Homo-oligomer: A and B are copies of this chain.
Amino acid sequence: MPSPIRVTVWNEYRHEKENPKVAAVYPDGIHVALAGFLGNEADIEVRTATLDEAEYGLTESALDATDVLIWWGHKAHGDVADEIADRVAAHVHAGMGFIALHSAHYAKAFKRLMGSTCSLKWRDDGEKERIWNVRPSHPIAAGIPEHFELEQEEMYGEPFGIPEPDELIFISWFAGGEVFRSGATWQRSHGRVFYFRPGHETFPTYANPNIQRVIINAVRWAKPTVRLPDKAPRADALEPLAR
């Protein structure tokens, strides 16, 4: 039996402590909700980490022991030190998987990995979102129907300032008239990156079975096949060079 996939669920964990409306949905924090359903999978071993821990729970050794890092943040992106965002990106470059959820489109580490603005439109009116599965053969879409609905979600709209995805998996339709590339992948050096849009803090999105299925699938997809240090070596010639 292969060793389990070691997942770290990282959460800013501020809204839940400050806003009763959020606390009502996620009383123990979004990280605990995510860790809950992930931890039920036999092949996944989960820990959590939050902004108010030392080094945000993202020490070098913690990241060395992480196969896939899931990131949820929103109001405190600026509180994350550049050094630690760079550290996260470096681990992705070496092979660690990275899953950015919802407002983590603006997380420093995600922006560093994308190299673009990651900006978007938004509207927090709790409208209907319908998620279309445009690449049903992708492992992240396994078991997901052609479309499914979230009755209440924040709207994110195009244009979304991302590089052209390697693979576009989900596109959202919003009742208010917008569309959004809601699920997309990119390779960055040796690591795999997945962005997944849904998950506003005031709605019980992470209790939705399809949403849970996508995140579980994404963990399995993002698992590293290698972990390679960065290097730029001088190399001896492999063939004789004329002198």
A positions within 8 Å CB-CB of B: 82, 89, 93, 95, 106, 112-117, 119-125, 127-128, 130, 132-139, 142, 146-147, 155, 157-161, 163-164, 166-168, 171-179, 181, 186-192, 224-226, 228, 230-239, 241-242
Contacts and interface: CB of A to CB of B under 8 A. Distances in A.
B161 A225 contact: no
Contacts of A95: 137
A238 B130 contact: yes
6 A-B pairs closest in CB distance = A177-B238, A176-B237, A115-B115, A137-B190, A177-B239, A119-B232
A176 B105 CA distance: 29
Contact of A239 (B122, B175, B236): B175
Given A132-B159, A136-B226, A225-B137, A235 B166 contact: no
Contact of A116 (B171, B175, B188, B237): B188
A220 B166 CA distance: 20
A240 to B, nearest CB: 9
A232 B122 contact: yes
Contacts of A235: 121-123, 155, 157, 176, 178
